[in-house]
Chains A and B, each alone.
Chain A
Amino acid sequence: AQKVTQAQTEISVVEKEDVTLDCVYETRDTTYYLFWYKQPPSGELVFLIRRNSFDEQNEISGRYSWNFQKSTSSFNFTITASQVVDSAVYFCALSENYGGSQGNLIFGKGTKLSVKP
């Protein structure tokens, strides 16, 4: 069965520190999609990134970077030079394969990141 594990429940850092949020997933599908979402205190779910299982290239977007390693079934998220506005709950998610296309999103429990000034 598909499963997403975010072992870090809460992380607290001081502004400008780098922080990595861990995500480990389980799936029997060979084709799948991985996501990260951000949920700020206002409550909405903000899409950050989507990767498919055939693309292991790491991605960088500004201060955000993602490390996808199929060998360890991990899809970790690093924020460089963290800022107070990065404070939020971050969710890693796995999309089931439904007929070759995206199906349901299975979420991890989330990691609450607090960035202190």
Chain B
Amino acid sequence: DAGVIQSPRHEVTEMGQEVTLRCKPISGHNSLFWYRQTMMRGLELLIYFNNNVPIDDSGMPEDRFSAKMPNASFSTLKIQPSEPRDSAVYFCASSLAHRGPVGYTFGSGTRLTIV
């Protein structure tokens, strides 16, 4: 199993530019989560999907952020326009939403720097 795959691993972008982060969940997992990690706020949920449907997007900071899951094997998180305060590590995680033996599997994260 390849695990949760995120791309890119690192991204440096100028303020105002559009940023797209990508995630491929583990095959067979039906829940997908986007988290953001900063020193100030720790790990916080941005949005999560169940069976490709957004369930809770209350953590999305503002309209500049959008997320899609067009199919079970792919999701994107887009920031447009980007701002320096968006600099963080963005994690994608997937899980099988029932009482399985394992927890959530996280990708390696995307370290985003907005300059």
Contact = CB atoms under 8 A, between A and B. Distances in A.
Q: Do A and B bind each other?
A: yes
Interface of A: 33, 35, 37, 43-45, 47, 49-50, 52, 91, 95, 98, 101-110
A44 B109 contact: yes
Secondary structure call for the B interface: strand
A35 B104 CA distance: 9
6 tightest Cβ-Cβ pairs between the two chains A and B:
A45-B106, A50-B103, A107-B43, A101-B97, A101-B98, A47-B103
A112 to B, nearest CB: 11
Contact of B48 (A35, A104, A108): A104
Given A47-B102, A52-B99, A102-B95, A107 B42 contact: yes
Nearest to B91: A45
A47 B48 CA distance: 19
A91 B31 CA distance: 21
22 contacts: A35-B104, A43-B108, A43-B111, A44-B106, A44-B109, A45-B91, A47-B103, A49-B103, A50-B101, A91-B43, A98-B55, A101-B97, A102-B95, A102-B98, A104-B45, A104-B48, A105-B33, A107-B42, A107-B43, A107-B44, A108-B42, A110-B42
B105 interface: yes
